[in-house]
Amino acid sequence: MNESALACQASRGDKEALKQLLTKNWDWLKRLVYSYMSSAVDTEDVLQNICIRVITKIHTLNEPERFKQWLAAVARNEAIDYRRKNRRQPLRLEESEIDNSIQYDDDTVERKDLERQVLKAIDQLPEKYREVLLLQLSGNMTYGEISETLDIPVTTVQIRLVRARRMVKDILTGKEIDRIPRT
């Protein structure tokens, strides 16, 4: 069954259709929320709130073919609400519980360190660049789908991706970041 049909059924109260719909969109949704929260723990909390909101408000979806856009808007609003209510700094990787009891080999340590640096660099990106970069990194969204979900033109997606990658590279190499353009 295609997504519009599932969304239609879900808006009529079909629990299984709603569950299927969320499962299908889970990957990009998770990454989108992470782009706003920068913490796996907070991401999970916000995803829970999003599910609650979707369950209670799905009947208000008048255009089933725009489910993705609707879901992205719900995700954005829930993330903003969560940040406002919690008002704490996002959990940085060095504050997280890194298991020091595990012995890593040198390559793994180097890799882990690099991952940490990459996540820090992504965290420093402006939100609009982080959004598109994380959605693209989910691996199963085309530029067209990203453009549709975020309701922005495809060319904007391409440009933001270029700038996001450039900024991450500059941060990792210690280069000063250029002034952030409007797009």
Partner 1 sequence: MNMSNEMLEILMGKQIDSEITPSEKCLLDKHLEADEQSRELLKELSRMNDITAESIDNELASVKSAEEIFETAWKKTGGVSYNYTCWLKKNLKFAYGLAAGFLIGIMLQMNSAVLDNNTFDSGLASNPGAGKVGLEIPIEDLKFEPPERNVDYYMFTDTDGRRWMMEAYRENNNIQPAMYYKGF
Q: Using the 8-state DSSP alphabet, how is residue 13 labeled?
A: T
State the minimum distance, in angstroms, from the CB of residue 22 to partner 1: 5
Question: Angle CA(149)–CA(150)–CA(156) in degrees, nearest 5?
Answer: 120
Helix, strand counts (H, E) of the chain:
9, 0
Distance CA 89, CA 12 (A): 39
State the minimum distance, in angstroms, from the CB of residue 49 to partner 1: 8
Half-sphere exposure for 47 (CA within 13 Å, toward CB): 19
State the minimum distance, in angstroms, from the CB of residue 153 to partner 1: 14
**Three-class SS state of 97:** coil
Using CB under 8 A, list all residues that contact partner 1.
11-13, 15, 18-19, 22-23, 26, 30-31, 34, 40, 43-44, 47-48, 51-52, 55-56, 58-59, 93, 114-116, 118-119, 122, 133-134, 136-137, 139, 142-143, 158-159, 161-162, 165-166, 168-169, 172
**Three-class SS state of 94:** coil
State the minimum distance, in angstroms, from the CB of residue 134 to partner 1: 6
